[in-house]
């Protein structure tokens, strides 16, 4: 017998139809949410890969390529248009390939999946706020992600792209004591005063790694100390202690020359009669003893093979612009006494006006001591100390980097107060007298410090 459908039956049928109609878009939305979540995960992975690639490439470049400016070729990869990383790199040939390997380690190794561009002495287009950088690299990571649930809506795949830029920028510090353990790695004694316009980094983990005694004072915009500080004056801002140690900031800078050396210049070391002596770049075996003369250094690189550079008192005058002085020795020389390493010893009362080059590989480098030089009291005859001394009267200027990785440096008198900038990198640093370190880098490449640090700028 036929029964007319009840109204409730019709409602149940309508609900089933509506539920079926709603279920499809709901599943599509759920699929979109799921797929977008997975794409976000891939995006985060790609971003990590891009940052790791950019950071590792810039770090490797900084550690292996020294100088304030760079010429394209070798480890200096210059590429203004995007180029893809070669898949499956096992032995990197340059810094960029180091970055590509890090992207590979994060799972991005497909053809054209990771690309890069670089620049030297230019501004990264993705980070214009940092200005001109001596070198920068940008990595871009892209991946097509197949869509799963949302494919029913026609979205078969999605593109994920990530990008990161690392750049070399001028360092904020200008005083680096590299010794890892000794107390007073940076010391200011007596009534001395160190007034620095740039930061101080003390690598020593000792108690009182940064120290003053006898009323000495220190003033700087920042202090980074691996150990602790003990100063008579209250440091402002307060020093940051317990920081991680840093490596030699100039480790990647190649030495200007290496043995065997051919002597091609001579200074009249036995002469001291008030003469004016005009010097030319070259190799000076036996060093330069200024005596009571005026020594005018023409622009260029001077290689001192043994003997170092010495002055005697206020009748010693040294001048030179665009000068780099490399202090070395020749352990294989037949005349070992003649070519034995000796330190730089410029008397506190001498007259000094020296400035480093502003262009080229050694832009900003004024004094450079051989990294293989002996240490302690093993220099010259009579157990002579290997430490360097830089003095000068109230008008003494050292425009540039003074670098002695192996030994200590003492600054005497009122040295460098009037210099545009002075940077000291040494095993230990002692200040005696008023020393002022400025940070006017105008005229140098990019108008920034010739010592560089790596920053992730994007």
Dihedral angle, C-alpha 95, 96, 102, 105, nearest 10 °: -120
Helix/strand/coil (H/E/C) assignment for every residue in 172-204: CEEEEECCCCCCCCEEECCCCEEEECCEEEECC
For the chain (458 residues), the mean pLDDT of every run of 10, in chain order, is: 54 61 60 68 91 95 84 88 91 93 90 90 88 91 77 68 93 95 91 87 96 86 95 90 93 90 82 85 93 94 94 87 95 65 89 93 96 86 83 83 95 73 95 83 88 91
Q: Is 354 helix (H, G, I), strand (E, B) or coil?
A: strand
Ramachandran angles phi, psi of 426, nearest 5°: -155, 170
Contacts of residue 68, defined as CB under 8 A and 6 or more positions apart, other chains included, come to: 134, 361, 362, 363, 364, 444, 445, 450, 452
Give me the pLDDT at residue 268, please: 81
Give me the pLDDT at residue 274, please: 83
Tell which residue, 351, 319, 356, has the closest CA to residue 441: 356
pLDDT in tens, 397-433: 899 999 999 999 998 866 556 789 999 999 999 988 7
Contacts of residue 282, defined as CB under 8 A and 6 or more positions apart, other chains included, come to: 264, 265, 300, 302, 303
Beta bridge partners of 212: 188
The arrangement of strands across the sheet holding 217-219 comes to: 217-219, 193-196, 434-437
Q: Is 251 helix (H, G, I), strand (E, B) or coil?
A: coil
Give me the pLDDT at residue 46, please: 92
Strand 114-122 with 83-84, pairing:
antiparallel
pTM exceeds 0.75: yes
Question: In this structure, how many other beta carbons lie within 10 angstroms of the beta carbon of residue 240?
Answer: 13
DSSP-derived letter for residue 57 is H
Question: In this structure, how many other beta carbons lie within 10 angstroms of the beta carbon of residue 73?
Answer: 9
Query: Which is it for the CA torsion 256, 259, 263, 267, positive or negative?
Result: positive
Beta bridge partners of 273: none
Helix (H) or strand (E) holding 235: none
Q: How deeply is 269 buried, as exposed, middle or buried, from its count of CB atoms within 10 A (0-12, 13-18, 19+)?
A: middle
Q: Quick one: residue 273, left, alpha or beta (phi over 0 = left, psi -120 to 50 = alpha)?
A: alpha
Helix (H) or strand (E) holding 390: strand 388-390
Give me the pLDDT at residue 301, please: 97
Cα–Cα distance, 369 to 208 (Å, whole number): 27
Q: How deeply is 244 buried, as exposed, middle or buried, from its count of CB atoms within 10 A (0-12, 13-18, 19+)?
A: exposed
Ramachandran angles phi, psi of 43, nearest 5°: -60, -45
Give me the pLDDT at residue 114, please: 93
Chain centre to alpha carbon of residue 17: 70
Cα–Cα distance, 394 to 415 (Å, whole number): 7
List, as own/partner pairs, every contact residues 120-124 make where C-beta atoms lie below 8 angstroms and the sequence separation is at least 24, other chains included: 120/69, 120/70, 120/72, 120/76, 120/78, 121/69, 121/70, 121/445, 121/446, 124/165, 124/167, 124/457, 124/458
Are the CB atoms for 239 and 226 separated by under 8 Å?
no
Cα–Cα distance, 196 to 175 (Å, whole number): 9
Are the CB atoms for 330 and 341 separated by under 8 Å?
no
Give me the pLDDT at residue 111, please: 81
DSSP-derived letter for residue 153 is G
């Amino acid at each position: 017998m036929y029964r007319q459908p009840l109204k409730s039956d019709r409602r149940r049928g309508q609900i089933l139809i509506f539920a079926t109609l709603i279920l499809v878009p709901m599943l599509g939305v759920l699929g979109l949410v799921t797929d977008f979540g997975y794409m976000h995960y891939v995006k985060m992975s790609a971003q990590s890969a891009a940052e790791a690639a950019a950071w590792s490439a810039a770090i490797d470049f900084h550690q292996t390529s020294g100088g304030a400016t760079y010429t394209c070729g070798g480890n200096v990869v210059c590429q203004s248009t995007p180029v893809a990383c070669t898949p499956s790199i096992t032995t990197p040939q340059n810094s960029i390939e180091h970055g590509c390997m890090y992207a590979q380690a994060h799972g991005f190794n497909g053809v054209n999946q990771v690309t890069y561009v670089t620049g030297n002495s230019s501004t990264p287009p993705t980070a214009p706020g940092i200005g001109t950088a001596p070198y920068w690299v940008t990595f871009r990571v892209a991946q097509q992600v197949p869509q799963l649930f949302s494919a029913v809506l026609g979205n078969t795949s999605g593109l994920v792209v990530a990008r990161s830029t690392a750049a070399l920028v001028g360092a904020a510090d200008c005083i680096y004591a590299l010794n890892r353990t000794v107390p007073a790695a940076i010391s200011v004694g007596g009534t001395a005063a160190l007034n620095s316009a740039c930061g101080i980094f003390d690598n020593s983990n000792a108690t009182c790694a940064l120290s003053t005694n006898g009323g000495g004072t220190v003033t700087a915009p920042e202090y980074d100390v691996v150990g602790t500080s003990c100063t008579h004056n209250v440091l402002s801002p307060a020093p940051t202690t317990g920081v991680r140690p840093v490596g030699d900031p100039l480790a990647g800078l190649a030495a200007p020359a290496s043995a065997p050396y051919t002597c091609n210049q001579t200074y009249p070391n036995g002469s001291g009669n008030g003469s004016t002596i005009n010097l030319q770049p070259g190799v000076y075996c036996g060093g330069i003893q200024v005596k009571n003369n005026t020594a005018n250094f023409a622009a260029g690189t001077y290689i001192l093979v043994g003997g170092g550079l010495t002055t005697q008192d206020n009748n010693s005058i040294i001048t030179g612009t665009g000068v780099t002085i490399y202090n070395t020795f020749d352990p294989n020389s037949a005349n070992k006494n003649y070519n034995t390493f000796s330190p730089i010893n410029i008397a506190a009362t001498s007259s000094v006006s020296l400035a480093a080059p502003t262009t080229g590989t050694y832009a900003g480098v004024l004094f450079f001591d051989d990294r293989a030089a002996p240490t302690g009291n093993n220099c010259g005859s009579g157990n002579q100390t290997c430490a360097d001394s830089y003095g000068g009267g109230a008008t003494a200027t050292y425009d540039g980097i003074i670098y002695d990785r192996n030994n200590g440096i003492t600054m005497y008198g009122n040295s460098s107060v009037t210099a545009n900038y002075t940077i000291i990198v040494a095993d230990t640093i002692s200040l005696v007298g008023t020393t002022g370190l400025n940070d006017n880098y105008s005229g140098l490449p990019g108008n920034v410090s010739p010592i560089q640090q790596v920053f992730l700028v994007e």
